[in-house]
Amino acid sequence: MYGILVSSTNWEVSKPSTKKVQTIMNKQLQDNPGVIAPPPLLFAGTLAAGLLLHSRLPTRLRLHTPRIIRFMLAGSLIGLAITTAGLAFKTMERAHTSIDPTRPTTVIVVDGPFQLTRNPLYLSLTMLYTGIAVLFNAITALLLLPFLLLVMRRGVIDREERYLERKFGEQYLQYKARVRRWL
């Protein structure tokens, strides 16, 4: 990290002190919610475990629905998940804020899908997870979903909400009062 010093006579490039750089880095590290893990990783890991259990269980618990209905339900959930995520990504990009929960949030996004839910990306991950589990007829993966959502609530969402309340105060509290967490 280099800075530019402006004096009355000329411009000088200076290297800031190590202490100053550490202070800046500490502020950047603290300016995030401190989630336990990236949400896509939590969803992917749990889904992989559920699908693995499904393939290994001798009884192979199954949903007894016609294949065409299962495929239509799975396709609808996956399509809705992709659409919701795409809209949320574009909305956050337009607002110039990071999608990564380990980086600082610069603004509260209230447009697009964020008008209906405070967590459209987590809702889309939940729909995607459910769609894939239904597609593979993996009831074991569906049985793991409530535990995953509990981990998401405690380890990600609650931390993000506390962070946003600290950072944005009343502005976030008003948004939180207007818009539900899920739907």
Asked if 139 and 92 touch (Cβ cutoff 8 Å), the reply is no
Domain containing 9 equals: 1-30
21-25, 56-60, 145-149: the lowest-pLDDT one? 21-25
Same domain, 103 and 128: yes
Does any domain span residue 117?
Answer: yes
| Separation of alpha carbons 130 and 127, rounded Å | 5
Does any domain span residue 89?
Answer: yes
Q: Identify the bridge partners of residue 180 per DSSP, sorted by sequence position.
A: none
Number of H helices, E strands in the chain: 7, 2
Report how many domains make up the chain: 2
CB atoms under 10 Å from CB of 7, counted, come to 7
Tens-digit pLDDT profile for residues 81-110: 999 999 999 999 999 999 998 889 999 999
Is the model's pLDDT at 3 over the cut of 70? no
**81 token code pair:** 């998940």
- pLDDT for 115 equals 97
Same domain, 74 and 143: yes
Q: Would you state the torsion angle of the CA atoms of residues 149, 120, 92, 30, taken in this order, to the nearest 10 degrees?
A: -20
Does any domain span residue 183?
Answer: no
Average pLDDT over residues 63-76: 91
Does any domain span residue 54?
Answer: yes
CA distances from 4 to 1, 14, 60 (A): 10, 6, 66
Average pLDDT over residues 149-169: 95
